[in-house]
Amino acid sequence: MLLPRIGRVARPWLDPALDLEARVELLLAEMTLDEKVGQTHQVANIDPGQNAEALREGRIGSSLYASGATAGNERDEGVLSSVIDEIQGIADGSRLGIPVLFGRDVIHGHRTVTPIPLGLAASFDPDLVREACTVAAREAVVDGIAWTFAPMVDISEEPRWGRVAESFGEQPVLSGRLAAAAVTGFQGDRPADADRLGACAKHFVGYGLSAGGRDYDTVSVGENTLRNLHLRPFRDAVEAGVLSVMAAFNDVDGTPMHSHRRLLRDVLKGEWGFDGVVVADWNGIGQIVHEGVAADLRDAARLAIEAGVDLDMVSGAYLAHLSDLVRDGVVDEALVDDAVRRVLRMKLRLGLFDPPAERRHDNAPTAGTRDVARRAARAAHVLVRNEGALPLGAEGSVLLTGAFVHEGEALLGTWVLDGRGDEVVSPAAALGERLGDRLTVDDGRFSDRTLQRARVADVTVALLGEHPNRSGEANSVSDLRLPPGQLDLVCSLAGLGKPVVAVVYTGRPLDLTEVLELADAVLVVWHPGVEAGSALADVLTGDVEPTGRLPMTFPLSTGHIPTSTHQRPTGRLIRADVDHQEGRYVDALTYPRLPFGYGLSYTSVEYTAPSLARTEIGDNEMTTLSVTVTNTGDRPCRELVQAYFRDPVAQVTRPLVELFDWAAVDLEPGATGEATFEVAPSLFAYTGPDLTERIDSGEIVLLTGPDAATLQPVSLTVTLGATDRAEARP
C-alpha cells in the first residue's frame, strides 16, 4: 500500500491492514512530548479561527461542544458539521495529522428526543434503550459528533439530587443491563461504522451519594457498598465494550475521584482491564485544587495523571503543566504514554483516521424515529393509582389543565442540547385529535375559571410536576413536594367531587402523598420527549395499556430519605407493623410511598407463589424459578414479573431484597401465563469483608412479585463443594 507522506513524516499508522495496537505504537513512537500532551487536552467549543495555531501544532486532541459548566441546563448554538470538517482539515495539516475527537452530551436522543434516562429505565426494556440510543447515534453523527458522554450509570437512590433524571435508577442489575444496552446502541458492533458514536460510562464513581442530595457534594462510602452496588453497572458497561469512562466530581471518602489512583488505576484499569479512555469531567482536574488536595493546577495535573485520568476536560492543567512535570522528573513519561495510547486507541476504534464517511444532511425526526420515541415515551408511563378514572371513557367531556398544559420544550427534559421545542407533539394537540370537541383546553393558570370549567367537565386531566430546569445537573431540591401552587389545584379539583387524573412530569421521585390521596388516577410520565402528547393520549384513552414500573423508590416524604431497596438488615428487626419499628421514626411510618418496581395496568393480575425446578443446586448447576400470573380483569396487559433474592446469612450485611431479573408477560383478559428465571450460584456473588468476590453455600430466599414490596418467597439451598469459597470473577 502506498502510504501518504505529509511534510517529512510518513504516516504508516494509517494502514488499516495493521493491527490496532501496532498502529497506536507506530504513531506514539513519532510523537514529541508536547504532541503527546496535546492528545490529553480537551477544549470546549473549539473554533477553527481561534484555535488554528494550536491545532496545527498538535496541541488539541479533543473538543466538546457545550454551553458551559452545566451544559444540560442551557441551549447553545448546536454543532455544524461543516465547522467540524474545517477543523479536521486543519488538524490533518499538523505534523502528524491526528484527527480531533469531538464529543457532545447526547443523553436521551439528539434531534429525536426520547424520555429522560430515568423514564427509559421505567420501561425495564434493554432492547428499547438500545434502539433509542441507535437512533440518537445516527442523528448525532450527521452533525460530526463522534462521542457522547452517556450513559450515566450512577446508582441513584437520592431523589433530592437533580441528576437522578439522567440515571437508570437505584438497582444495579437494571442499571447495568440498561447501561450495556445503551453502550451497544451507541457503539454497535463496530464503533467505527459511519452511524455510530463512542459511549462514555459516567460518573465514576459514587456520585449518586452526594451528601444531602446536593450536587457536587462529598461522598462517604465504604468499599463494601461501592463494590456491591455502585461499581457494578460500570463493570457491566466496561464488559459491554464502552470506549470511555468519565471520572466523577465527588470525592470518595476524602480522595477526589480525579485523583483516585486506587479506583481508577487499580480497579477500573487494573482489575477490570479497561483499556479505553478515562476522561475528566468538566474542569474536574482543576477542582482538585478547590477540594484542597492539590496546591495548584500543576499539582492537580500530577495527581490526575498519576491516578489515571487520560483526557483533561477543559481545565487546561495537562496542557499547561504535563510536559514540564515530565521534564522536571516529577511525572514518569510512561504515564503520559499510557494516557496517549488510550486516546489514540479510541480515535482508531472510532475510525477517525479512516477517510470520512458521507454524512446524511438531514437529521430531523422522521416517522421512523418518532415511532421509536413514541414507544419509548409510552413505556415510560407509570400508572401509580387508578380508582376507575382511566382509561378515559368513550363519551363525556374532558378538561385539560395544569401547569404543563401549554409547555412544549419542557416536556423534553433536562440535557436536551439539540431537540427542538416546536417538534414536540403537545398533549393538547394529541388529545384534541382523539377527543375532538369533547376536550376543553384550559390556560393552565389555576383560576376560578379553571374550577368553573372543571365543574362542568366529566373528568379533569391535570398536567402537573416539575420543569426540567428543576432537575438535572446543579438542580437539587430540599423539598420533594410539587412546586408551589400545584397541590392547591389538585385539592380544589378534588373538592368538586368529579374524577381527577393527575399526570406528573418529573425528573425525580416526588413526594406524591397528597396527590395520591386526592386524585382518582395518577400517572407518572417523567419528561417523555418529542412524542410526549401522542404517548399520553395513547395511554389515557386506553389505546395502549400502561406498562412502566418505577425504577426508583418514591419516599413517604422528604424526611424519609434515604429509602430504597438498598436497605440492609439492622441489629433490630425491621418489621412491617407499626409496633415493631424500633429505632425508626416515632412520628411517621417508614415504608416507601411507592416501592421500587411499582406500576399498575388497567386490569388486575394475580400471582401464584413461586416454585423451583430444583430446590438445591451446587457448583455449575442451575435451577429454574417459575411463577404463574393470571389476568383477572377485562383488559389485556403486559405484566412485569420481577425476581429478587435475599441472602439471609452472608459475611457482610446484604440488601433485604435485590432485583436479579424480570420478565414481561403479555396476558389477554382471563389468560394465565408463566414467567421463568434461570438461577445459578453466580447470581449471588458479592464482595466480602476481605474485598474478594465470593459465593457462599447456604440458603437463598428467592422472591417474585409485581414490585419490591409485594413479594412471595421460595427457599433455595446452594451447596458449593465442601466449604464456602471465594470466587474471583473472570
Q: Does 149 bind ligand BGC (CB under 6 A)?
A: yes
Distance CA(663)–CA(679), nearest Å, equals 14
Q: Which residue is catalytic, options 105, 125, 251, 281?
A: 281
The residue type of 218 is T
Write out the binding residues for ligand BGC, residues 271-300 only, by CB under 6 A: 281-282
Q: Count of residues binding ligand BGC (CB under 6 A)?
A: 11
Burial class from Cβ neighbours inside 10 Å (0-12, 13-18, 19+) for residue 243 reads: buried
In the complex, minimum distance from the CB of residue 473 to ligand BGC, in angstroms, rounded to a whole number:
6
Angle at 556 between CA 554 and CA 562, to 5 degrees: 65
Cell numbers given for 210: 452526594
Nearer to ligand BGC, 152 or 675 (CB): 152
**Among positive and negative, which fits the CA dihedral 128, 134, 139, 144?**
positive
Q: Are 198 and 352 in contact (CB under 8 A)?
A: no
Write out the binding residues for ligand BGC, residues 84-143 only, by CB under 6 A: 105
Q: Does 596 bind ligand BGC (CB under 6 A)?
A: no
Tell me whether strands 439-441 and 398-401 are parallel, antiparallel or unpaired: parallel
Q: What is the DSSP letter of 554?
A: B
Nearer to ligand BGC, 146 or 600 (CB): 146
Residue in 14, 71, 91, 331 binding ligand BGC, rule: CB under 6 A: 71
In the complex, minimum distance from the CB of residue 417 to ligand BGC, in angstroms, rounded to a whole number:
9
Q: With CB under 6 A as the contact rule, which of the stretches 66-74, 119-127, 324-332, 552-560 interacts with ligand BGC?
A: 66-74
Nearer to ligand BGC, 45 or 676 (CB): 45
Distance CA(218)–CA(702), nearest Å, equals 36
What b/e sequence results for 562-585 when a residue is b if at least 16 CB atoms lie within 10 Å of its CB, and e otherwise?
Answer: ebbbbbeeeeeeeeeeeeebeeee
In the complex, minimum distance from the CB of residue 69 to ligand BGC, in angstroms, rounded to a whole number:
6
Long-range contacts at 614-620 (CB < 8 A, ≥ 24 apart): 615/714, 615/715, 615/716, 615/717, 616/716, 616/717, 616/718, 616/719, 617/679, 617/680, 617/681, 617/716, 617/717, 617/718, 617/719, 618/681, 618/718, 618/719, 618/720, 618/721, 619/681, 619/720, 619/721
Q: With CB under 6 A as the contact rule, which of the stretches 47-55, 62-70, 528-536, 659-667 interacts with ligand BGC?
A: 62-70
Q: With CB under 6 A as the contact rule, which of the stretches 69-77, 183-191, 419-427, 492-500 interacts with ligand BGC?
A: 69-77
Burial class from Cβ neighbours inside 10 Å (0-12, 13-18, 19+) for residue 86 reads: middle
Nearer to ligand BGC, 246 or 301 (CB): 246
Q: Does 69 bind ligand BGC (CB under 6 A)?
A: yes
Distance CA(182)–CA(178), nearest Å, equals 6
- Cβ neighbours of 587 (radius 10 Å): 5
| Closest to 48 in 3D by CA, of 77, 85, 78 | 85
Nearer to ligand BGC, 105 or 442 (CB): 105
281 carries an active-site annotation: yes
Residue in 46, 66, 122, 197 binding ligand BGC, rule: CB under 6 A: 66
Angle between helices 486-495 and 448-456 (to 10 degrees): 40
Q: With CB under 6 A as the contact rule, which of the stretches 68-76, 559-567, 572-580, 641-649 interacts with ligand BGC?
A: 68-76
Q: Does 251 bind ligand BGC (CB under 6 A)?
A: no
Q: With CB under 6 A as the contact rule, which of the stretches 67-75, 83-91, 377-385, 594-602 interacts with ligand BGC?
A: 67-75
In the complex, minimum distance from the CB of residue 71 to ligand BGC, in angstroms, rounded to a whole number:
4
Q: Are 320 and 296 in contact (CB under 8 A)?
A: no
Nearer to ligand BGC, 161 or 446 (CB): 161
- Binding map of ligand BGC across residues 466-485, x = CB under 6 A, - = no contact: -------x------------
Q: Does 418 bind ligand BGC (CB under 6 A)?
A: no
Nearer to ligand BGC, 30 or 76 (CB): 76
User: Which residue number places its CB atom closest to ligand BGC?
Assistant: 149
Residues interacting with ligand BGC, by CB under 6 A? Answer: 64, 66, 69-71, 105, 149, 202, 281-282, 473
Catalytically active residues are 281
